[in-house]
Amino acid sequence: MPKRPPKAKSPRRAGDSLAKRVKNLEFLVKSSQLLNSTLDFTQLINLIMKVVKDALDVETVSLLFLDREKKHMVFEIARGKRGREIKGMKIPVGQGVAGWVAKHKKPLVVNDTSKDRRFPLELEKKLHLKTHSIMSIPLNHGRKFIGVLEAVNRRERVPFTDEDLEIFLALGNHIAAAIQNARLYRETERKRLESSMLYKVSASLGRSLALDDALEQILASLKKLISYDAAAVFVLDRKSQLLVSEVHYGYAPGREERLLLKLDEGVVGWAARHKTGAIVPDCSADPRYVNARRRTRSELVAPMLSGGKVIGLFNLESDTKNAYRKADLRLLEAFAAQAGVSIERARLYEEQQVKREIERELKLARTVQQFFTPTQSRKIGPFTLAGRNYPSLELSGDYFDFFPLKEPYAAFAIADVAGKGVPASIIMSSFRAILHTTAPYFTSARDIAGTANAILLETVRPHDFVTAFIGVLNIETGEVTYCNAGHNPAVLLKDDGAYQLLEKGGPVLGVLDGMELEEGTIKLDNDVLFCYTDGTIDATNSAEEPFGMERLIEFLQAHQRLGASRICTALRRRLKEHVQEMPQLDDMTFLVLKK
């Protein structure tokens, strides 16, 4: 029996089918033109959403890309009440609808998700979107698989048809090509922008010395290259060894205490200890994360290094998971290197500013100190008193002075404070004030020293003390009473060249209460009384030989016929000859009394 020929389609049905195909073709052409109208990746994603919704009349669209390790599908877009939180979430290849499509590289249509085990119910809960149907296709560019595109929930619960799948697949080809073009453009533009930004930042940092301004500029530049919702630049405080946020953005007010970290706290502390960057795809799953910001889902940290040491760190945080890649870390490390240079320059500049300010204040203090130090020899009856002070630092801890008492007496003193510089000069200023206010009431060197000791006990710290040689001259008789309080013994050089060391007195001042002090007495005729501090005899040459007492006595014997002031000048010259180019390590002071 012969076969019957197939029943021919009615002209009307054939016309409807052709019209629909023409309409679909026109839609695909327009969609292709629309998708290729931009190379901006963000704009393209929005266009993909619009095109798929218009083509299939669905509630929402999801787009997932294959990660670099090719083990997971990562959400690029997902709509729903919490779609932003889903961005960056990973689905293992092989799991769920998208994972199945990624594994088999085949499209999948599920018109009733409740009957298909491949649909992950936990994802539905996270999206807060009730899913009843889903159509998922692989996106391929040439032979390269790049991701999965999903149309979710056909409106009015109309099932997806073979015709829907056909147009979805055709649309997917255009979408995959547009995505690759946008990616290529984005990478090219990113590299250009990276180079441009790094150059601009480097050039700007070469002009800027204000640390906060420089770091804020770097953060602003980074925003154009790496997306972040919060950022902080931590700098290591050298004294406290804490990581302190110099500039930060995106954190709630009142959270500043969370931006002060120890070196063993958080991902930032970890990166500081290990001197390496860190990418945290999911902060909730990383025990290192310090919760300074509730919305943070992923984190990127890069250290700033100088001379192999960590001086600070960059910290970027995103509200989406898996927001950062290795390329982002490399870029952040490049910016961190620039910032490290800026921080070191800013610190050096601030230190120089502080140093200049200290030097200015020290010069002012030295001027005040010199104002109270005798600059010229003084004639007291037939006697002449002269002295010199040469500090090793800007300020001196040595002191010499002479001042009148009740007639016919005059007092003189030379002293040395334990230590050097500013602390010693402050104590010495206090000691000078004590002598000038109390000495006029006495004519005994021992009484002056005892009173000064009692006052110093009340004013100086336990480990501070003063050594002093105090003398009182009777102008009419030439008799001198003296008290040596722990000081170097003064030298009494007789007219015939013989000498005597004046040691009577007691311990240093400012340490013991109620101590016993002795008083010595000498008489000056054509003799020289020479007082000095230990810096004079301790002055050392390159062979580590101190000037010493023997050289000092020889010098005095050779120059005893000079006037008091000229003896001081000649000794300074002799000391310079001895030490030559060696630095002066201690204050040098000497005082001469003679007729």
Mind listing the pLDDT tens digit for each residue in 364-384?
555 655 656 677 889 999 999
pLDDT of 365 reads 54
Mind spelling out the 3-state secondary structure of 327-388?
A: HHHHHHHHHHHHHHHHHHHHHHHHHHHHHHHHHHHHHHHHHHHHHCCCCCCEEECCEEEEEE
Q: Token digits for 350?
A: 């601030």
pLDDT of 340 reads 75
Summarised one tens digit per residue, pLDDT across range 81-140 is: 555 667 777 888 888 888 899 899 999 999 988 887 777 666 666 655 678 889 999 998
Mean pLDDT of 140-167: 88
pLDDT of 144 reads 87
For residue 51, give the nearest of 77, 14, 83 by alpha carbon: 77
Summarised one tens digit per residue, pLDDT across range 212-238 is: 777 777 788 778 778 899 988 888 887
Any residues with CB less than 8 A from the CB of 279 and at least 6 apart, and which?
Answer: 298, 299, 300, 324, 325, 326, 328, 329
Q: What domains can be seen in the chain, in order of their start residue?
A: 24-187 (3.30.450.40), 208-250+259-349 (3.30.450.40), 372-594 (3.60.40.10)
CA–CA separation, 360 and 353 (whole Å) = 10
pLDDT of 120 reads 66
pLDDT of 185 reads 78
Mean pLDDT of 550-563: 95
pLDDT of 127 reads 56
Summarised one tens digit per residue, pLDDT across range 37-51 is: 788 877 888 888 888
- Three-state DSSP class for 243? strand
For residue 439, give the nearest of 460, 397, 409 by alpha carbon: 409
pLDDT band at 480 (very low <50, low <70, confident <90, very high): very high
Cα 11 to chain centroid distance, Å, stands at: 81
Any residues with CB less than 8 A from the CB of 179 and at least 6 apart, and which?
Answer: 44, 48, 139, 141, 146, 147
Percent of the chain past pLDDT 70, that is, above it, reads 81
**CA count, 13 A, side-chain hemisphere, 333:** 12
CB-CB contact of 530 with 582 (8 Å): no
Averaged confidence pLDDT in the chain:
82
For residue 466, give the nearest of 501, 503, 414, 421 by alpha carbon: 414
Helix residue ranges, H only, 208-255: 211-223
CA–CA separation, 315 and 137 (whole Å) = 38
Residue 193 has pLDDT above 70, yes or no: no
- Better-scored residue on pLDDT, 565 or 351: 565
